[in-house]
Amino acid sequence: MHILILGGAGMVGRKFIERLARDRQLGGKPVDKVTAQDIFPASPPANAPFAFETLTSDLSQPGEAEKLIASRPELIIHLAAVVSGEAEADFDKGYRINLDGTRYLFEAIRQAGDGYKPRVVFTSSVAVFGAPFHDKIEDEFFTTPLTSYGTQKAIGELLLCDYSRRGFFDGVGIRLPTICVRPGKPNKAASGFFSGIIREPLAGQEAILPVPRSVVHTHASPRSAVNFLIHAAGIDGDAVGPRRNLSMPGVAVSVGEQIEALERVAGAEVVKLIREEPDATIWAIVKGWPTRFDAKRSKELGFFAETSFDDIIRAHIEDELGGKIAG
């Protein structure tokens, strides 16, 4: 099996590739080749049992998508995107990358012809939903995004459904909750502080909390994000049905409950490194996001995530800190 990963140098892409290298297969099929595309080179996994290719390109440029699918990969994982805060700050860039790039990819697959029909896994977002919200967002809740990023993802979802309905490819869209705790340096995502208030204190560094502790949000770990991709890659499209986009499960907690979980896992001294500093720009984005989800369809189709925020923190400590906390 040849797998193409768009946005393969990002955090989720790297972890997905590392998992493929460990498992050596996906859905019972041996992985022969992995191609990782991004705007900067992806690092090859250690001891990769498959051919690994890294391509540096901009999917939003005309003609690039055709080059990427020329080798006819059986599975395409579409992670490439400008994150929420950046898409809101730079309108043109957000639409060029998040919408035009996606449509170029879908259209390149359609034009390929000759019976080429790959599985396409499109990573969407809970930002496709907009207020006013129900207490829990059920599978039938309509998409009325209140950010440019959410709008771009919602359009991508509609395109995925239509191109799948027409038989151009076999698509599955997964609406990711906020992935927490993200390793590495902060990015421009408005949701970045959810990870920052855990990641930085665990590393002995100060973290800024820009929103009230009462904010409720749904999270899943990077481990779960990789599991979502793997399950979506092999799921029966007929079982998913015509509604090809699924809200993924996660742990719904308030920011205050995140901090309480951090204290349970790592101690009171770690929590003292969190400094509250309101940011009106971030708050304006975050308050337009949904809080809790009744991800019934995805759970029935076999998707799963953590059941407590304590488990999410422990996963970060095990995977990124070698099981040890700074200090």
Give catalytic residue positions.
Answer: 149
Three-class secondary structure of residue 12 per DSSP: helix
Query: Quick one: tokens of 148?
Result: 């440019």
* DSSP structure class, residue 300: H
Nearest one of 214, 217, 224 to 251, comparing CA atoms: 217
How far is the C-alpha of 69 from the C-alpha of 110, rounded, in Å?
11
11: left (phi > 0), else alpha (psi -120 to 50), else beta?
alpha
Place of tokens 């953590």: 306
Read off φ and ψ for residue 110, nearest 5 degrees.
-60, -45
Tokens standing for residue 199: 């990641």
Q: What CA–CA distances, in Å, run from 65 to 24, 216, 241, 265, 315?
A: 27, 38, 27, 45, 35
The CA distance from 312 to 308, in Å, is 7
Give the number of other CB atoms < 10 A from CB of residue 198: 28
Residue among 74, 29, 71 at smallest CA distance from 53: 71
CA 306-311-315 angle, to 5 degrees, is: 100
204-216 as b/e: b if 16+ CB within 10 A: eeebbbbbeeebe
Give the gyration radius of the chain's Cα atoms: 19
Q: Please state the φ and ψ torsions of residue 188, each to the nearest 5 degrees.
A: -90, 10
Q: How far lies 18's CA from each of 13, 49, 53, in Å?
A: 9, 11, 14
